[in-house]
Amino acid sequence: MLACEDPIYYGTTGLVRDRTRLLWGDNKQVRSACLENDDNFDFGAYKWTVQLVTNESRLEKILFPIFWGLMTLSTFGNLESTTDCLEVVFIIIVLTTGLLLVTMLIGNIKVFLHATTSKKQAMQLKMRNIEWWMRRRHLPPAFKQRVRNYERQRWAAMRGVDECEMIRNLPEGLRRDIKYHLCLDLVRQVPLFQHMDNLVLENICDRVKSLIFTKGETITREGDPVQRMLFIVRGHLQSSQVLRDGLESCCMLGPGNFSGDELLSWCLRRPFVERLPPSSSTLVTLETTEAFGLESEDVKYVTQHFRYTLATPKLFFQWVI
């Protein structure tokens, strides 16, 4: 009963389901006796797993092989083999697989670090150029701090990606479709643009530009010429207006709102006046704000080139009067 059956290893011809072998395997004393290493037998790569043969815990039988596999694949040269050829081949395969996995991991880490550090290096180079320019122009410390804050907040918002440059380099058809998808809902917030056909809306969306404003920045003051229409994507603005009795009226503009609609009335008036209309309110950012801007020249182009869409008297007088 204490004699050890022929070992089951690579290339054995014995049947694992043999009744005699199963009875031998169920005998705990036999298993313990076979594992006694009186002849200094070297179990090779499996010397750590020998103790699992007589272990009754299923959890340990599951966890220990997983640990052994992870340790083997993540290190090199820690496996000792016997003279068995198949065991040597198995160890070579395991070590080669671990080497390939580590090589792939190092390659992925290198690509990730390069993608991250390249943007940071570009940002640092840009900041050095800005610092040199500010020193050369002898800007006051307050202005220098505002410039630094703007660059930091712009970097935090865009992560060093120039969205305008990225879209500009795309094919014209793809660029128009993407900007149409990004800007359509915002542009349609303007009542006058709600009734225009898709061709006009595509031209409007194609001409808008992405803008970022830092917290506390005054975008425009009441009475200043209106330079552009703004369509807010993210963030909030405070719009304030001085009334006739000296009181100040304030409201908050958030995502989906717009400003600068004075340009529409300016473009539709006849006879046309080249002087830009004055702003009716002061706009100040309450937080870092992202917006799409439609410049005054672009508003003028759209209203003149597609004037046939504004021929409806109801639409025309809604903005002119």
Does this model's pTM top 0.85? My answer is: no
pLDDT, one tens digit per residue, over 261-288 is: 888 888 877 777 788 889 888 999 988 8
Position 241 pLDDT exceeds 90: no
pLDDT, one tens digit per residue, over 40-88 is: 555 666 666 666 665 667 787 788 777 777 777 666 656 666 666 777 7
Position 3 pLDDT exceeds 50: no
Segment 22-33 shows an average pLDDT of: 59
What confidence tier does 1 reach under pLDDT thresholds 50, 70, 90? very low
- Token digits for 282? 């002061």
Segment 152-177 shows an average pLDDT of: 78
Cβ(308)–Cβ(196) below 8 Å: no
The more confidently predicted of residues 109 and 101 is: 109
Segment 282-297 shows an average pLDDT of: 89
Name the burial class of residue 232, with classes exposed (0-12), middle (13-18) and buried (19+) by CB atoms within 10 angstroms of its CB. buried
Cα separation, 211 vs 180, in Å, equals 17
Mean pLDDT across the chain: 77
Residue 71: predicted pLDDT: 73
Residue 91: predicted pLDDT: 75
What confidence tier does 132 reach under pLDDT thresholds 50, 70, 90? very high
Choose among 128, 210, 124: nearest CA to 167.
210
pLDDT above 90 coverage of the chain, percent: 6
Residue 2: predicted pLDDT: 41
What confidence tier does 31 reach under pLDDT thresholds 50, 70, 90? low
- Among 60-64, 122-126, 174-178, 184-188, name the one with the lowest average pLDDT: 60-64
